[in-house]
């Protein structure tokens, strides 16, 4: 289990990127959901031992991550939000080089590792092509391959599907599922669908604070009977926002659809709706803004 306790990160500018963050993350997929600037990447870099927090602690399977970063790195796989590559190095050669850096010095073992990973992420056919020339989806799959070197037991992927087309996104998410449930995988993203599709547990992070934590299905169930929707003229949106607690505004086929929260039937042509994780997420962010 990964245990994050009372983590605080205050930069020299005075910005509080993490505000007493505490999480217990079990094995399997865990979604960390939040808007851009929420503090997600700061938290991921801290767990990955790339920066030290102002205060707090992080432990993983008996490893004090902040005091023993080298021990954590031996069992860590990390795909950062911006994954840089050498411009003219082939996928095979780059993965081979990264395997050496990971400590796999035996040539035969390294060859087997590299070939297995390239097959696993479906990049064997382009192994001689420079990674810099890969499409976004191919580069992300290569990123997962390098993160899997050494059979890590903690894997962090930061905004992995941003910018991918639907086919590549689906391929990438299926690849994450194949990694299995025997390791801790943290999926940090602002894309609600990624968490809804993959993660049995999740947390919402915004403004450096954990706003919500739990199982997506349980969180959705708690909204049952409280959500309503209505198609409205676009020019009436501001009036509805004044009169009701609007938690989401959607467009479908050119029509404006609002989702509101109400304890009982608000009338006025609203119809009840089944909530989604997106509605839970928007409601959580709205609660935080109203409390600020």
* Domains, in order of start, for the chain: 2-215 (3.40.50.300), 221-291 (no CATH)
CB atoms within 10 A of CB 270: 19
* Residue 20, φ and ψ in degrees, nearest 5: 55, 60
Mean pLDDT of the residues in the chain: 91
Task: Enter the tokens of residue 199.
Answer: 């993660």
pLDDT of residue 85: 67
For 130, half-sphere exposure in the C-beta direction (CA atoms, 13 angstrom radius) is 8
Share of the chain above pLDDT 90, in %: 71
- The maximal CA–CA distance of the chain, rounded, in angstroms, is 72
Tell me 180's DSSP state.
Answer: -
This prediction has a pTM of 0.88
Task: Enter the tokens of residue 73.
Answer: 């790195």
Question: Per-residue pLDDT tens for 232-282?
Answer: 999 999 999 999 999 999 998 889 999 999 999 999 999 999 889 999 999
Question: Per-residue pLDDT tens for 184-214?
Answer: 999 999 999 999 989 999 999 999 999 999 9
Q: How confident is the model at residue 86 (pLDDT cuts 50, 70, 90)?
A: confident
Q: Is the dihedral of CA 69, 70, 71, 73 positive or negative?
A: positive
């Amino acid at each position: 289990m990964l245990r994050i306790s009372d983590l605080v990160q205050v930069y020299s500018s005075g910005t509080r990127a993490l505000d007493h963050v505490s999480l217990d993350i079990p094995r399997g997929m865990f979604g960390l959901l939040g808007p851009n600037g929420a503090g997600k990447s700061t938290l991921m870099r801290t767990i990955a031992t790339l920066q030290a927090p102002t205060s707090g602690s992080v432990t993983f399977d008996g490893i004090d991550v902040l005091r023993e970063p080298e021990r954590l790195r031996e069992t860590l796989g990390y795909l950062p939000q911006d994954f840089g590559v050498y411009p003219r190095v082939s996928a095979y050669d780059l993965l081979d080089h990264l395997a050496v850096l990971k400590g796999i010095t035996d040539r035969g073992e390294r060859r087997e590792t590299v070939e297995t990973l390239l097959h696993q992420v479906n990049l064997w056919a382009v192994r001689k092509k420079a990674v810099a020339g890969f499409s976004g989806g191919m580069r992300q799959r290569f990123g997962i391959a390098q993160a899997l070197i050494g059979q890590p037991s903690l894997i962090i992927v930061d905004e992995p599907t941003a910018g991918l087309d639907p086919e590549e996104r689906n391929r990438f998410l299926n690849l994450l599922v194949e990694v299995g449930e025997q390791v801790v995988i943290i999926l940090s993203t602002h894309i609600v669908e990624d968490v809804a599709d993959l993660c049995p547990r999740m947390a919402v992070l915004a403004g450096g604070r954990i706003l919500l934590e739990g199982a997506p299905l349980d969180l959705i169930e708690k909204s049952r009977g409280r959500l309503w929707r209505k198609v409205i003229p676009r020019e009436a949106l501001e009036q509805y926002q004044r009169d009701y607690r609007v938690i989401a505004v959607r467009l479908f086929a050119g029509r404006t659809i609002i989702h509101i929260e109400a304890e009982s039937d608000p009338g006025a042509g609203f119809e009840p709706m089944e909530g989604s994780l997106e509605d839970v997420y928007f409601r959580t962010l709205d609660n935080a803004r109203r409390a600020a």
